[in-house]
Amino acid sequence: MLCTATLSYAAEGIDTTSVMLGKNKVVIHNDSLGISVSIFDSEGHQWKKTREVNFVDGQEVEQVFVFSPFIPIRKNTKRTFYPHFPDFYYGANLLNANSNVIMRDTKSSEWGFSPCQIGLSLNKQNTLGLVSSLLFGFVHNHFNTSSVINRVEEETRMLPLEEKDVTTSFLKYYYVKLPIMVEWQKRIGRRKIFAGGGLGLEYRYKEVSKYRIGKQKHTVSRDLGINALGINAEAYVGFGSVNLYAHYALTPLFKKGINAMPFGVGIGITM
C-alpha cells in the first residue's frame, strides 16, 4: 500500500517523494530528465550507489537496474570510530605545588581547541575505540600579589614582591598536546554517552612571568626553566556535544626548584 500511494503521488506532479524502509529513507526524485533514487540512513548520511539508477520516460531506457545494492559513503564503518574530544574548551588550571606557592584559584584558567581527531574501533559493536587528537592550549596561573615567580641560580622560585599596589602576579604559557586514549561510547536516542581515559604527550612553550600595577604590566622573566616535554594523565566524560574533562601532569612543570604539577578541569563543546 505504501509503494502504491507513493507512485500515485508522483503521477500527480510531486517532484520528490520519501519512503521509510526500516531505519533508512528512500528518496525518489522526478524531473524533466527522468527519475532518480537515493537512500539515506537514520543519521542523514547518503548511501553511495554501486550502479546508477535512472529511469527515462518513453520507449528508450538509458539504464535500469532493478536491484542495484547501495553501500554507505563512509567505507569500513565497522572500523570507523568517532572520538569526542572537545572542539573548544575552557576551565580552571591549578598547580599542585609547594606550600609557599599561594595561588588565586578563581583567576587561574586555561582554554584551547582541537582542530583534528582520529579514532579506530576496537570491537564489533563499535562502542570501544582507540582515539587521539591534537590540542592547542593556553594557561594563565595567578599567584598571591605579594610574591612573583622567577628563576634564580637555575632554580625556579617564588620570591617576595616588594612593589606596592600590585594587582596581579601571574605565569602564562602555551602548550600543544597529543593524547592517546581509549574511549567507550553508547548511543542513547540521537545522542551518545561517552567516557575516555589515557595519557597525553604535552609540549610547553613561550612561558613568561609578569605582574601588574594598575594597568601597566611588568615582565619578570621569559626563562623559567620549564620542562618543555611532559606526560599527562587524561580523562573525559560527556553526553551529546558536552564534554567534561580533567588532566593531571605526571611531569613537573619546572626542571628545578618548585615541584609543581599542573592539573586542569573544565568543560568543552563539540560543534
Q: How many of the other CB atoms lie within 10 Å of CB of 264?
A: 21
Place of cell 594557561: 139
Q: Say which range, 77-81, 105-109, 207-211, has the weakest mean pLDDT.
A: 77-81
Q: pTM of this prediction?
A: 0.69
Banded pLDDT at 6 (limits 50, 70, 90): very low
Q: What pLDDT is attached to residue 178?
A: 98
Amino acid letter, 149: I
Mean pLDDT of all residues in the chain?
Answer: 83
Each residue of 208-254: pLDDT tens digit?
999 999 889 999 999 999 999 999 999 999 999 999 999 999 999 99
CATH number assigned to the domain with residue range 88-269, chosen from the 4 options 1.25.40, 2.40.160, 3.40.50, 1.10.3470:
2.40.160
Which ranges constitute the DSSP H helices of the chain? 2-11
Q: Cα–Cα distance between 167 and 144 in angstroms, integer?
A: 9
Give me the residue spans of the domains in the chain. 2-72, 88-269
- What is the arrangement of strands in the sheet containing 16-21, beginning at the earlier edge strand? 16-21, 24-31, 34-40, 54-55
Q: What pLDDT is attached to residue 48?
A: 62
Banded pLDDT at 79 (limits 50, 70, 90): low
* Mean pLDDT comparison of 21-35, 72-86, 135-149, highest-scoring range: 135-149
Q: What pLDDT is attached to residue 208?
A: 96
- Contact between 148 and 100 (Cβ < 8 Å): no
